């Protein structure tokens, strides 16, 4: 099917007929603010921040879900549009704690950014002011539903991306909130702690335990280093967030495959071993019932000698090799190649399978 021509802010653009106004505006580089929208999720028009004016339409329409049509003329910055967006922000902020200085998401909060752009420091309206207890009774995710804006991104990420269906909307009206399995704690629900909801959340309602525990410590400068997850053969792309030479958080790279931001519980939270004080950093050799540090040359010479003598005395099948999920796929490949081609046995297994 051919493309159609529409006009956004007096600029023409050719787009496929199944696109939305928001997608067409992005093609032109025109920024339309959003909170509930995420490119990987089905548009739900929950936040209404992306309202725009379409010529001939009686009401303002949400750009994230409104389909384009041939000859359509759209205005994204009229006085009517800006006034409506400001009212929507007023309504959201009326039931949102203004504790940005102590919030774990400060500096990376989409609500904070939009409020700053609109010059809002609070709300002139009086909302319900919900104050829920913080749910942090698990090792991975902290939920503070007092900060939730009911955008629904976490629910969609859980249901559409991970297809886990662990969380959903609960209650009605002003009492609406996001719940897990009849409004239980995450640890008592069907949550597998993949953290997809944390990555999708635009505010501080869902954060990692590490972020929550570090809020009262000097944050310092954090550097994001892109790398490949080594836990399995998929090759997921992720960012290691490094502060003071320590990995403090892991997030998925959203604009690159094969995972496009998605990570499993091991990929997102399984990094504590990096800085574990019990982690071996030098080879150890046992002598007289005690370990002593050794050089790599000494350790490898000892291992090679032992493997050779066992093979000569008992045969290659007397040797078994166990590889690790915490090394790269390339290293695991070399280990199995060494086991089969050099030692001469098929006795190799992987600790993640046991």
For 6-28, how does the pLDDT look when each residue is reduced to its tens digit (9 = 90+)?
Answer: 999 999 999 999 999 999 999 99
Confidence class for position 64, pLDDT limits 50, 70, 90? very high
The confidence score (pLDDT) of residue 52 equals 98
100 compared with 25, residue with greater pLDDT: 25
Does position 127 have pLDDT exceeding 80, yes or no?
A: no
The half-sphere exposure of 56 on its side-chain side, counting CA atoms within 13 A, is 5
* Euclidean distance between CA atoms 342 and 325, whole angstroms: 22
Give the C-alpha distances (Å, rounded to integers) separating 129 from 87, 97, 145, 150, 265: 17, 8, 11, 14, 33
The verdict on whether omega for the bond into residue 98 sits within 30 degrees of 0, i.e. cis, is: no
Q: What is the pTM of this model?
A: 0.81
Mean pLDDT within 102-123: 90
The confidence score (pLDDT) of residue 101 equals 86
Mean pLDDT within 265-289: 91
Q: What is the SS3 assignment for 287?
A: strand
Helix axes 79-93, 110-117, angle to 10 degrees: 130
Q: Could you state, in order of their start, the residue ranges of all structural domains in the chain?
A: 4-92, 125-275, 297-353
Give the C-alpha distances (Å, rounded to integers) separating 15 from 8, 52, 74, 340: 12, 18, 14, 55
User: Quick check: 23 and 139 in contact, CB under 8 A?
Assistant: no
What is the overall mean pLDDT for the chain? 91
CATH number, domain 125-275? 3.30.70.20
- Span 218-266, pLDDT tens digits: 556 789 999 999 887 788 999 999 988 889 899 999 988 899 999 999 9
The confidence score (pLDDT) of residue 352 equals 67
Mean pLDDT within 46-60: 96
The confidence score (pLDDT) of residue 315 equals 97
Confidence class for position 354, pLDDT limits 50, 70, 90? low
Q: In terms of Cα–Cα distance, which of 256, 269, 192 is closest to 228? A: 256
CATH number, domain 4-92? 3.10.20.740
The confidence score (pLDDT) of residue 215 equals 64
Mean pLDDT within 279-299: 94
Q: Tell me the backbone φ, ψ of residue 223, rounded to 5 degrees.
A: -110, 135
CB atoms < 10 A from the CB of 56, how many?
Answer: 8
């Amino acid at each position: 099917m051919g493309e159609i021509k529409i006009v956004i802010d007096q600029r023409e653009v050719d787009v496929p007929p199944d696109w939305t106004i928001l997608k067409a505006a992005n093609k032109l580089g025109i920024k339309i603010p959003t909170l509930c929208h995420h490119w990987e999720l089905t548009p739900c028009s929950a936040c209404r921040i992306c309202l725009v004016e379409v010529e001939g339409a009686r009401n303002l329409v949400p750009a994230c879900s409104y389909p384009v049509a041939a000859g359509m003329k759209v205005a994204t910055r009229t006085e009517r549009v800006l006034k409506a967006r400001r009212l929507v922000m007023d309504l959201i902020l009326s039931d949102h704690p203004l504790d940005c200085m102590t919030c774990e998401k400060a500096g990376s909060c989409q609500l904070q950014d939009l409020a700053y752009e609109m010059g809002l420091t609070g709300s002139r309206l009086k909302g319900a002011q919900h104050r829920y207890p913080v749910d942090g009774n698990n090792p991975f995710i902290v939920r503070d539903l007092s900060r939730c804006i009911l955008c629904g991104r976490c629910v969609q990420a859980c249901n559409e991306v991970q297809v886990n269906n662990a969380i959903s909307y609960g209650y009605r009206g002003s009492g609406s909130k996001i719940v897990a399995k009849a409004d239980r704690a995450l640890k008592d629900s069907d949550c597998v702690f993949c953290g997809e909801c944390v990555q999708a959340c635009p505010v501080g309602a869902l954060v990692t335990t590490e972020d929550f525990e570090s809020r009262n410590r000097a944050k310092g400068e954090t550097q994001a280093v892109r790398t490949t997850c080594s836990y399995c053969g998929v090759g997921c792309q992720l960012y290691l967030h490094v502060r003071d030479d320590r990995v403090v958080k892991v997030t998925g790279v959203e604009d690159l495959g094969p995972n496009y931001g998605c990570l499993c519980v091991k990929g997102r939270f399984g990094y504590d071993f990096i800085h574990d004080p019990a982690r071996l950093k030098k080879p150890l050799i046992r002598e007289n019932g005690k370990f002593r540090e050794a050089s790599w040359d000494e350790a490898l010479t000892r291992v090679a000698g032992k493997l050779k003598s066992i093979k000569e005395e008992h045969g290659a099948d007397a040797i078994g090799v166990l590889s690790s999920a915490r090394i790269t796929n390339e290293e695991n490949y070399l280990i199995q190649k060494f086991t089969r081609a050099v030692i001469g046995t098929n006795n190799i297994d992987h600790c993640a399978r046991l």
